[in-house]
Structure 1
Amino acid sequence: MIYTFENEQFIKSDIDSVWNYFSNPKHINSLTPTEMHFRTLTTNLPEQIHTDLIISYWVSPLFRIPLKWKTKIISVEKNKSFIDIQIKGPYKKWHHLHTFEKVENGVLMKDIITYELPFGRLGDFVHRIVVKKKVDQLFEFRTKQIQKHFENE
């Protein structure tokens, strides 16, 4: 089964500052809870993402089992959006659209993730009991980290 997760967050900052923060791939580690043991493997990351950028990570999303995760940036529209997809990792499918919209007194950031787990019905069962909760917790953590970062800017 294909799942969709959506999150939006108002950030009290200007569009250039928000874009520069989120389009810098070096910030992903600070936006991921420590219990996921997330670590970027790709060295010499650019300061800004670009189309066709591939980034490799170690992540332990479930039961502390380390998995290699490789993502690719497939679209970048400066100050508006970018899309990353999984090309290797724990999901059968992972498509993450990040959008940024200048609004009164700040920026509205949205994440829309479409994902599917492997293993058919077993994957759906694992989603119901574990994965959905993990995705929700990841974005709760991320929302707090983003708020702290931009409050202290």
Structure 2
Amino acid sequence: MKLYKKESVQYVNASLEECWAFFSSPKNLQKITPGDMGFQITDFDGKDMYAGQIIQYKVSPLAGVKISWVTEITQVKEKAHFIDEQRFGPYAFWHHKHFFEATPQGVKMTDVVHYGLPLGFLGRIMNSLVVEGKLNEIFAHREKMVDKLFNGK
């Protein structure tokens, strides 16, 4: 299986506490996810983020096809980072690191996603034709929404 990497950095005009409170809450994911993805949390215990937390979603990344996605929060260091990993879903491998760092320019948020697709050669073709572009779209939308919510843009 080939692993791919997607990395993004964004500065947020807010305190570290405000950023952490917003981005560590699964309840806010829908606010920064493109509407056409039909993102919906189907099971979540409603508690503050903790290692071992399981969150279940439904998403429609392509042509209205609903897919179940289950992630586990595997690591949490409050106001510094958290990691979510797919347990069941569309990827053969999904590991998403979220880092938060206070800087003079605002909170530096860094996301690093490593992902792999099933189906070998066909998965590599799907990445080139669809998946990589869709992830770029999702991250661009997120950046736009974060700018709107926090940076007054």
TM-score, normalising length from structure 2? 0.95
Contact map agreement 1:13 1:105 (CA 8 A) in 2? no
For 1:20-73, what per-residue CA distance to the aligned partner results, in whole angstroms no more than 9, with x for missing partners? 111111001111101111111014422x21111100000111232111000000
Determine if the alignment matches structure 1 residue 37 to structure 2 residue 38. yes
Q: Where in structure 2 are there 5+ consecutive unaligned residues?
A: none
Q: Which residue in the other structure is 2:14 paired with?
A: 13
CA distance in structure 2 between the aligned counterparts of 1:135 and 1:151, rounded to whole angstroms: 23
Contact map agreement 1:8 1:108 (CA 8 A) in 2? yes
CA 1:26–1:135 in structure 2 vs 1: closer, same or farther (change >3 Å)? same
Q: Where in structure 1 are there 5+ consecutive unaligned residues?
A: none
Q: Greater shift after overlay, 99-108 or 85-94?
A: 99-108
CA distance in structure 2 between the aligned counterparts of 1:93 and 1:30, rounded to whole angstroms: 25
Q: Which residue in the other structure is 1:128 paired with?
A: 128
Determine if the alignment matches structure 1 residue 109 to structure 2 residue 109. yes
- Count matched residues: 151
Contact map agreement 2:11 2:105 (CA 8 A) in 1? no
Structure 1 segments of 4 or more deviating over 4 A? none
CA 1:80–1:43 in structure 2 vs 1: closer, same or farther (change >3 Å)? closer
Q: Which residue in the other structure is 2:148 paired with?
A: 148
Q: Greater shift after overlay, 58-67 or 89-98?
A: 58-67
For 1:107-149, what per-residue CA distance to the aligned partner results, in whole angstroms no more than 9, with x for missing partners? 0000000000111000100100110000000000000111111
Contact map agreement 1:55 1:72 (CA 8 A) in 2? yes
Contact map agreement 2:50 2:73 (CA 8 A) in 1? yes
Secondary structure, counterpart of 1:18 in structure 2: helix
Q: Greater shift after overlay, 86-95 or 63-72?
A: 63-72
Secondary structure, counterpart of 1:20 in structure 2: helix
CA distance in structure 1 between the aligned counterparts of 2:15 and 2:3, rounded to whole angstroms: 34
TM-score, normalising length from structure 1? 0.95
Q: Greater shift after overlay, 70-79 or 24-33?
A: 24-33
Aligned positions of 1:64-143 closer than 5 A:
64-143=64-143
In structure 2, give the amino acid aligned to 1:138: I
Secondary structure, counterpart of 1:141 in structure 2: helix
In structure 2, give the amino acid aligned to 1:151: N
CA distance in structure 2 between the aligned counterparts of 1:151 and 1:111, rounded to whole angstroms: 18
